Amino acid sequence: MLLDADDSQLVLVDYQTRLMPAMHESTLVLGNALRLVRMAELLKVPVVATAQNPDRLGPQMPELEAALEAAGAQPLSKIHFSAVPDGLSALLRPVQCKPVGNARSLPRHLQRAPQSESGRQSVVVAGCEAHVCLLQTALDLLAEEFEVWVVTDACSSRTERNRDAAFDRLASAGAELVTTEMVAFEWLRTAGHPAFKVMQALIK
């Protein structure tokens, strides 16, 4: 099973100013998060960015915040460690609006509920800390019957042991473990894609 850009959404978890300096390999991890956002913008993949208790842990890292704004990302502040109880599912799978009024009085194109982004079932997720907020968010998304793809080289914890334990648990629960380059080339599928050269430059 390969990732499909038209079926994907990207969720970035808690790359915040008071958290990232303590993360293992934080520079590498943040760089890959930036690549993911720019790739998503390029291929029109919707993006959600969460922030855990931002009054305490601060905003997104400045360079990531700028990329998120450029990509039209939806922000989500949360207090739970998992983003799902604070509304992530509603952002990823919005309720379809029902047509208003008598069906006979409506033009034909309004007589059915419009399609929404709810058809995108693959959630590409990355973030910090891997064994806390990322883990709990991903497990809740699996419980909500999304396909979850965890981008391992864009995730971190304060220690490698905690990060790797999270990956082991996520894989056992049914999440797919991938890397930033795997996401890039699976979203593209072919060197003939119009975005191939730009994407290639992003990951080099």
One-letter amino acid identity for 129?
Answer: E
Q: Give the number of other CB atoms < 10 A from CB of residue 120.
A: 19
Find out whether 73 and 38 touch, Cβ atoms under 8 Å. no
Q: What angle do CA 70, 71, 76 make, to 5 degrees?
A: 105
133 is catalytic: yes
Catalytic residue among 86, 133, 140, 155: 133
Catalytic residue among 14, 86, 140, 153: 14
Residue 185, helix vs strand vs coil:
helix
How many whole angstroms separate alpha carbon 75 and alpha carbon 46? 12
Residue keyed to tokens 């998060």: 33
14 is catalytic: yes
Backbone angles phi, psi at 100, to 5 degrees: -100, 145
Ranges assigned E (strand) in the chain: 8-13, 47-52, 74-78, 122-127, 147-151, 176-178
Catalytic positions are 14, 78, 133
